[in-house]
Structure 1
Amino acid sequence: MLLWVLLSVCCLVTAQQRSSSYSGEYGGGGGKRFSHSGNQLNGPITAFRIRVNRNYIVGLQAQYGTTWSDYKGGKLGDLEEVFLHPGEHIIQVSGKYSSYLRLLEFVTNKGRYLRFGKDYGTSFNAVPLYPNTVLRFFSGSSGSVIDAIGFHWDYPNSGCTHCN
């Protein structure tokens, strides 16, 4: 009987499909920690705001469904705002960093490349571990700039309580 229970549990665990993964953390060790993990419950990423100066990614904010996350980072620099098309998701993020984040380039499932910042520093390329998963939320650390960033991947509507 015990053998049957163990085999059943083992098969159940093996049959469960994994979907979430993490890429990062890219950047330096300074700043105050942040995470948008709770924001993903409002829906998938539908837009983001990136603030850049001549050297760094200064700030970051993302819209999850129709709700904007808290802004993270500094106030100086040019603010750019990008909205994703319906059904469009981020499937890859490349960039560069030194002590701080310098460049972000988002690639979407619709073939768009959205690039912010300066092409200088150590390169990274973040992609999900599992097929058909997309960027669900950001985490990292920030002060007067974005010190470091990480990317969390899962199915587009995974954990979404308010999605249509």
Structure 2
Amino acid sequence: MLSLLFFAVLPISCLAKPTSDFYSYSVAVGSGSGTAFSSEGEGRITAIRVWETSNAYITGIQLQYDFIWSKRVGREVGNAHELILFDGEAIIQVSGKYHSNYIYQVMFVTSRGRALIVGQPIQNSFNFYPVHQGAELKLLSGRFNSNGITSLGAHWGLVSSITTSSTQ
């Protein structure tokens, strides 16, 4: 009887994929000098803030997870550029420009086709996106120094389907 149950459940368990199979990593670009960072938070990313030195490079990034802001990475310079996501909206692409010393531009694209573009469109291009259908940005990692962001990578995966509400 036990072996019959085993053979009945085996095909069903083969069809179910664990969510870890949907994880992917977009390898970091940039010099990689400075202090390592990884954004931290629980749930879905619901907003993004980015700071830049005028006509130069990205100095700081901060993500909001289910309406709680994570620790800022880098430094605040001037006013923050901010994108608040709608219910069910997700970051599905991170692109930009980098040079040997800093990230010069970053662009976050959402599942609704909206984008936050900050920085200068100069130097080498990068384009990060998830490998698996339905995956979204879960966290950013990289390096920063006392001036700005020197390296940036993206981690993708599935986020629970619990819906959240935003102010927009």
Task: Compute the TM-score of the two structures, normalised by the length of structure 2.
Answer: 0.80
Does residue 23 (structure 1) correspond to residue 26 (structure 2)? The answer is yes
Deviation at 1:16, TM superposition (A): 3.3
Q: Please, what is the CA RMSD of the aligned residues?
A: 2.5
Tell me which residue corresponds to 1:51.
Answer: 51
Q: Give the conservation status (yes or no) of the 8 Å contact 2:62–2:70.
A: yes
Q: Give the conservation status (yes or no) of the 8 Å contact 2:32–2:142.
A: no
Deviation at 1:111, TM superposition (A): 1.1
Q: Which SS does the other structure have where 2:141 is aligned?
A: strand
Question: 1:87 and 1:16, CA in 2 relative to 1: closer, same or farther beyond 3 A?
Answer: closer
Tell me which residue corresponds to 1:135.
Answer: 137
Divergent runs of 4+, >4 A: 12-15
Tell me which residue corresponds to 2:116.
Answer: 114
Counterparts of 1:1-164 in structure 2 under 5 Å? 16-17=17-18, 18-36=21-39, 38-39=40-41, 41=42, 43-53=43-53, 54-98=55-99, 99-143=101-145, 144-157=147-160
Aligned residues: 152
Deviation at 1:75, TM superposition (A): 3.1
Deviation at 1:48, TM superposition (A): 1.1
Q: Which SS does the other structure have where 1:78 is aligned?
A: coil
State percent identity of aligned pairs: 38
**Unaligned residue ranges in structure 1 (runs of 5+):** 1-8
User: How many Å separate the matches in 2 of 1:123 and 1:87?
Assistant: 29
Tell me which residue corresponds to 2:3.
Answer: none
Q: Give the conservation status (yes or no) of the 8 Å contact 2:82–2:116.
A: no
